[in-house]
Amino acid sequence: MENKLHEAIQRQDLELLTKIYTDAANASEQRGDIDEASFLLTQAYVCALQQGADTAVKLRSRLIDKGRES
């Protein structure tokens, strides 16, 4: 993940960053690590917001469900 992340950050590829963070958040959630999942979902959410992507709405909902966003 780190290499992909580094590459996406270098390229300022917000769409790819959103996907990388979301995938990682999903994996954390499956493991039951809600704190880590929330951190990663937040990263994904900010990237999605910045690019004006529709996915921001769903990411926000997931964070709200966990009591991490308003």
Partner 1 sequence: MNEINTPCLDHVLQPVATAKGLPNAHYIDPETAGSEREKVFFANWAAVGFGKDVAEPGSALPMEFLGLPLLIVRDDDGTIRVFQNTCRHRGMILMEQAAKVKGVIRCPYHSWCYSKAGKLITTPHVGGPGINVAPEIKRDELGLIEFKSHVWNDIIFVNISGDAPAFEEYAHDLLQRWREFDQPIYHGGPESSFKLEVNCNWKLAVENYCESYHLPWIHPGLNSYSRLEDHYHIVQPDSFSGQGTTVYNPRLDDSGRSFANFDNLDAKWDTSAEYIALYPNVLLGIHRDHTFAILLQPLDHQHTIEHIEIYYAKKSSITTDMGDLRQKNAELWKSVFLEDVFVVEGMQKGRQGIRFDGGKFSPAMDEPTHCFHHWVASRFTA
Closest distance to partner 1 from the beta carbon of 1 (Å): 17
CB 34 within 8 A of CB 2: no
Is there binding between residue 8 and partner 1 (CB under 8 A)?
A: no
Phi-psi region of 52 (alpha: psi -120 to 50; beta: other; left: phi over 0): left
According to CB under 8 A, which residues from 22 to 41 bind partner 1?
35-41
Residues 6+ apart with CB under 8 A from 6: none
Integer Cα distance of 68 and 61 in angstroms = 10
Is there binding between residue 48 and partner 1 (CB under 8 A)?
A: yes
Closest distance to partner 1 from the beta carbon of 54 (Å): 10
Residues within the interface to partner 1 (CB under 8 A):
35-43, 45-46, 48-53, 56, 60, 63, 68-70
